[in-house]
């Protein structure tokens, strides 16, 4: 495995990030994204994760998926779904220019619903579309919107008709996935749902893990390396 720092070294580094410096200091650059101290500070306890943190973390998951032994992952950016749902396939057609999303195993769609983060996951191996909400709301209409998008994308990009009846759409119930116990951890839940799914691992974390996950994400984003 890649080198991992000691717990103490990580902790002191993370504390230093939060403690000093200017909000506009650039702490990480990758995936055409620039992450500032102000962005990183949304990972403080009870902070609201912003688009840049979400998209950067999705970028790290996609990078990792290129390694041996991981499912191939494609992640849409956090602005994709709001654009798709308010317009049409035509408006987002160029977002996948030069990419065949159907060559992947898993497609992650992080979703920003005004003041809440959720995640939609397409598994192309199993033909499932699942919706993960740490507040337990159903997203059946979101699943349908994305299936329709996949049908149009498939027809347009590779001239193949998807058979909608072969697909299973499901909103995960509160007994199936962990639920947040405060009003601010939804973004971390989405990142960790995506992390476990992109390793084909069962989702076994709990709300108690959130403070640790937040700190770990600070280190991972700054070092551009998932632990």
Residue from 46, 75, 33, 4 nearest 214 by CA: 46
Strands (E), the chain: 26-30, 33-36, 73-75, 106-113, 116-123, 128-132, 168-171
Q: What are the chain's domains?
A: 52-203 (3.40.395.10)
Q: What are the catalytic residues? A: 116, 133, 186
Tell me the average pLDDT across 146-172: 93
CB 187 within 8 A of CB 52: no
Neighbouring residues of 139: CB distance < 8 A, sequence distance ≥ 6: 111, 118, 120, 131, 133, 171
Residues forming a β-bridge with 169: 129
The confidence score (pLDDT) of residue 3 equals 61
The confidence score (pLDDT) of residue 2 equals 56
Q: Over the chain, what is the mean pLDDT? A: 92
87-138 pLDDT, tens digit each: 888 888 888 998 999 999 999 999 998 889 999 999 999 999 999 999 999 9
């Amino acid at each position: 495995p890649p080198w991992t720092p000691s717990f103490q070294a990580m902790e002191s580094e993370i504390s230093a990030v939060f403690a000093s410096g200017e909000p506009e200091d650039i702490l990480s650059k990758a995936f055409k994204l620039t992450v500032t101290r102000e962005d990183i500070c949304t990972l403080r306890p009870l902070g609201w994760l912003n688009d840049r943190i979400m998209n950067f973390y999705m970028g790290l998951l996609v990078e990792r998926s290129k390694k041996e032994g991981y499912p191939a992952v494609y992640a849409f950016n956090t602005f994709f779904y709001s654009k798709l749902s308010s317009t049409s396939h035509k408006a987002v057609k160029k977002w996948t220019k030069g990419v065949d999303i159907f060559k992947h195993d898993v497609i992650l769609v992080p979703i920003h619903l005004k003041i809440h983060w959720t995640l939609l996951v397409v598994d192309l191996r199993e033909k499932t579309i699942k919706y993960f909400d740490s507040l337990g709301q159903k997203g059946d209409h979101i699943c349908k919107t994305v299936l329709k998008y996949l049908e149009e994308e498939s027809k347009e990009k590779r001239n193949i008709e998807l058979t909608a009846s072969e697909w299973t759409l499901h909103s995960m119930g509160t007994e199936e996935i962990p639920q947040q116990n405060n009003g601010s951890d939804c973004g971390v839940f989405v990142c960790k749902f995506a992390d476990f799914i992109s390793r084909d691992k069962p989702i076994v974390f709990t709300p108690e893990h959130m403070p640790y996950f937040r700190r770990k994400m600070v280190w991972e984003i700054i070092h551009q390396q998932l632990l």
